[in-house]
Amino acid sequence: MPLPSIQALLLLLATFWVQAPSQDTREVIRRDVCIIGGGASGVYTAIRLRQRNYSVVVIEKEGRLGGHTETYLDPDTNTPIGFGVALYQDSPETVDFFTGLGVPVERILPGGGTVQRIDLRTGEAVAPYPGNTSEALARYVAVLQQYPYLATGWSLPDVVPEDLLMTFGELTAKYDLGAAMEVISLYTQGVRYWLDYPAVYILKFMSLALMQALQTGFLQTARHDNSEVYRAALTELGPDAMLHSVVVNSSRAGDAVHQLTVRAADGTSTLIEADTTVLAVAPAGDVLQGLDLDASEASLFGRFIHGHYYAGLVKVANFAPDAQIINRGADTPYGLPDLPCTLMLEAVGVPGLVRVSYASEEPMTALAVQQAVVEDLGRVVGGNGAEAEFVAFADHSPFEMSVSREAIEGGFYQAAGGLQGHRNTFYVGATWEFPGASPIWQAVDRLMPSIVARLGG
């Protein structure tokens, strides 16, 4: 038999490859909704959709659900200690979410502990800012009451009032709010140096509902473990929560089933097919690399800026058991510390453990933040600060997504609102409301009819 020609061999080989079965062994999962992000907004969205009998899958890069809710279990006392989200505003959504997952809640009034104002650059005590705090807070509330639409979303008027566009420093001077600044700063931790950027962000963050909670109290879990609700949600979701996973590629045509390739930490890939995608994380950084952004999405997301917020627990000797040290500048406007800096050092009820928070305008490594905190502790507790040891640490960046005055004035948030439902994609979370779990859950419920309508419900 004559040998086949080279051309015949090539033709035979080409035919083999065309007819050979596909080597794509990815698991394919079909769901109504794919939710990217397993923090407060993503988990709440998933639970609410399941209650309406829609199928979901949640993609979460960490090995747990809960996002900014971080809990450390002290091995010596078996005490859960939060070093992320601590309190919740009282609302029907909050109560229903927790109790629906079998997690009881209780009311707690703010305060407690012995407050010390220390300039952590020097370790020296700082006097309170002069003035009547109650009267200044009343003036602040009067400003908020002029803009009731700030309580829900970002539906700003076409002509945005100057009060909302000016810097918060300018607003403070205009309404003589200096004596209220310390209280406001305690409840807006993690925000960048907010005297310099649009006042609307602080007015949304330190909202009328939050001001009311200062008087009537907040909610916390009855067992003092805020992560409990997310562990319960993980049990509820089961395999529909894909942990240690990220979206690496996507196709989100508005008139076709979405296809999202998800890669797990072990290298395995899964193809998610869904009618609708919900982005439940800040639209910044690595998460955007896996999304097929169109021009309008990329243009809007590219205008966001944000701060960097870090928190943790430190083991250190000789820290007073009820101390709450807030960093105050001895020579800075309203006593607000210059960034980057430690914001607060506070006892947590377990001897030798201190909760810390730190903020920066620019990204910092975990090591750099921890070294700075240890140096600050040394100025507070003496030489023992050098022996401080972090037992838990979290980077909550990106934190407080914002845009410039010019962008707000130019209709940025009207355009951002127009993205809801664009390409069968919806957006939930702090970026679209403000960093507070209860308001975020309320915003999800307001958006839910639109999501359900896209699903044909």
Mean pLDDT for 85-105 is 93
d(CA 152, CA 145): 13
pLDDT of the residue at 382 = 78
Name which residue leads in pLDDT, 21 or 306: 306
Task: Provide the pLDDT for residue 370.
Answer: 97
- Give every CB contact of residue 406 below 8 A, 6+ residues apart in sequence: none
Give residue 384's pLDDT: 61
Torsions phi, psi for 244 (to 5 deg)? 50, 40
Task: Considering only residues 434 and 150, tell me which one the structure prediction assigns the higher pLDDT.
Answer: 150
Instruction: Say how far apart CA 274 and CA 288 lie, in whole Å.
Output: 18
What is residue 302's three-state secondary structure?
A: coil
pLDDT tier for residue 435 given thresholds of 50, 70 and 90: confident
Task: Return the percentage of the chain with pLDDT > 90, whole number.
Answer: 84
Which pLDDT tens digit goes with each residue over 320-367? 888 999 999 999 999 999 999 999 999 999 999 999 999 999 999 999
pLDDT tens per residue, range 270-315: 999 999 999 999 999 889 999 999 999 999 999 999 999 999 999 9
- Report the chain's terminal Cα–Cα distance, integer Å: 68
Residue 9: pLDDT over 50: no
* Statement to judge: residues 171 and 200 lie in one domain: yes
In this predicted structure, what is the pLDDT of residue 240? 98
* CA separation for the pair 456, 328 (Å, rounded): 54
Q: Strand, coil or helix: what is 390?
A: strand
- Looking at the fold, whether 140 and 284 belong to one and the same domain comes out as no
Residue 434 pLDDT exceeds 90: no
Same domain, 212 and 311: yes
pLDDT for residue 192 = 82
202 and 350 in a single domain? The answer is: yes
d(CA 136, CA 147): 18
In a domain, 198, yes or no: yes
Domain boundary pick from 348, 379, 397: 397
CATH number at residue 258: 3.50.50.60
416 lies in a domain? Answer: no
Alpha helices, H only, 332-411 = 366-381, 405-409
DSSP code, position 286 = G
Q: For residue 204, give both structure tokens.
A: 């949304």
Tell me: do 286 and 181 sit in the same domain: no
Do 130 and 246 fall into the same domain? no
Domain finish residue from 397, 414, 444: 397
Are residue 227 and residue 261 in the same domain, yes or no? yes
Q: With cut-offs at 50, 70 and 90, classify the pLDDT of residue 110.
A: confident
Integer Cα distance of 247 and 289 in angstroms: 8
Give the residue among 168, 247, 261 at the shortest CA–CA distance from 206.
168
The reply to whether 54 and 37 lie within a common domain is: yes
Give tens-digit pLDDT for 73-82.
999 999 999 9
Whether 4 has a pLDDT exceeding 60, the answer reads: no
Number of helices (H), then strands (E), belonging to the chain: the values are 15, 19
In a domain, 20, yes or no: no
Residue 154 lies in a domain: yes
Whether the Cβ atoms of residue 312 and residue 83 lie closer than 8 Å to each other:
yes
Could you tell me if 211 and 311 lie in one domain? Answer: yes
**Residue 2 pLDDT > 70:** no
Number of domains the chain is built from = 2
Residue 12 has what pLDDT?
42
Dihedral sign from CA coordinates of 265, 268, 271, 272: negative
Element spanning 42, H or E: helix 40-51
Looking at the structure, tell me whether residues 166 and 33 fall in a common domain.
Answer: no
351 occurs within a structural domain: yes
Q: Is 311 exposed, middle or buried (0-12, 13-18, 19+ CB in 10 A)?
A: buried
The predicted pLDDT at position 385 comes to: 62
Q: Does 145 reside within a domain?
A: yes
Please tell me which of 32-41, 191-200, 310-319 the model is most confident about, judged by mean pLDDT. Answer: 32-41
CATH code of 116's domain: 3.90.660
Show which of 349, 375, 397 is a domain's final residue.
Answer: 397
Q: Does 260 lie in the same domain as 205?
A: no
The whole-number average pLDDT for the span 236-255 is 95
> 21 pLDDT exceeds 90?
no
Q: What does the pLDDT average to over 222-246? A: 96
Kindly write down the DSSP assignment for every residue of 400-453, as one continuous string.
EEE--HHHHHTTHHHHHHTTTTGGGEEE-SGGGS-S-HHHHHHHHHHHHHHHHH
**Structural domain that includes position 173:** 110-216+307-397
pTM: 0.92
Dihedral of alpha carbons 186, 188, 194, 199, sign: negative
Is residue 326 helix, strand or coil? strand
DSSP per position, 218-278: EEEETTS-TTHHHHHHHHHHGGGEE-SEEEEEEE--TTS-EEEEEEETTS-EEEEEEEEEE
pLDDT tens digits for 354-409? 999 999 999 999 999 999 999 999 999 876 666 889 999 999 999 999 999 999 99
In one-letter notation, the amino acid at residue 406 is E
Residue 17 included in any domain: no
Q: Same domain, yes or no, for 56 and 80?
A: yes
- Element holding 346 (H helix, E strand): strand 341-347
pLDDT at 3: 42
For residues 40 and 66, the answer to whether their CB atoms sit within 8 Å is yes
Kind and range of the H or E run holding 116: strand 114-119
Residue 422 lies in a domain: no
- DSSP string across 145-167: HT-GGGGSTT---SS--HHHHSB
Residues of the chain above pLDDT 70, percent: 94
